[in-house]
Amino acid sequence: MTTENLIETVTEKIQGLMADPKHFLVEVRIKPTNNIKVFIDGDEGIPLSDLVSYNRKLYKALEESALFPEGDFSLEVSSPGIDEPLKLHRQYGKNVGRYVELTLNDDPATKIEGKLLAATEDGIVLETESGKGKKKEVKQETILFSDIKTTKVQVKF
């Protein structure tokens, strides 16, 4: 079975196990060593206890399905960390009000930092600042998803 087929099968299994409509699958990755990583998020975050439950249920389902007949796989179920880029529209919605760093699709890749004000069907509204003191300028930009290569949430103190 190809890696793409395995990812598809694991995706179907985990989506079948996810009962809470506030939770959503972000991504499934499978390394050549059969290390399976499943990233699940929630509109209001996701408790560790739910991730543990999903891990146990998925592990059992994978064992019973004999996808890995020798049992030679490892499974990690987690929420995407702060270092993981946003991948789904729902992730943008839950991060409104936070600071983000965008890498655009242009060449060379432009980086923009700002506060995520809104996520629309087609893109995002970002508040950016330039200059300091009296010359400080705050403006809002609408950036289309098609122009965004990656978006990472920034931690500001």
pLDDT at residue number 133: 81
69 CB burial (10 A radius; 0-12, 13-18, 19+): exposed
**Domains of the chain by residue range:** 3-80, 86-153
Assigned CATH topology for domain 3-80: GMP Synthetase; Chain A, domain 3 (3.30.300)
Is 116:93 a contact under the CB 8 Å cutoff? Answer: no
Q: What is the pLDDT of residues 107-126, one digit of tens each?
A: 888 999 999 999 999 999 99
pLDDT tens track for 75-99: 999 999 888 999 999 999 999 999 9
Q: What CATH architecture does domain 86-153 belong to?
A: Roll (2.30)
Burial class (CB in 10 A: 0-12, 13-18, 19+), 107: exposed
pLDDT tier at 156 (50, 70, 90 boundaries)? confident
Whether residue 122 contacts residue 135, with contact meaning beta carbons closer than 8 Å, is answered with no
Structure pTM? 0.85
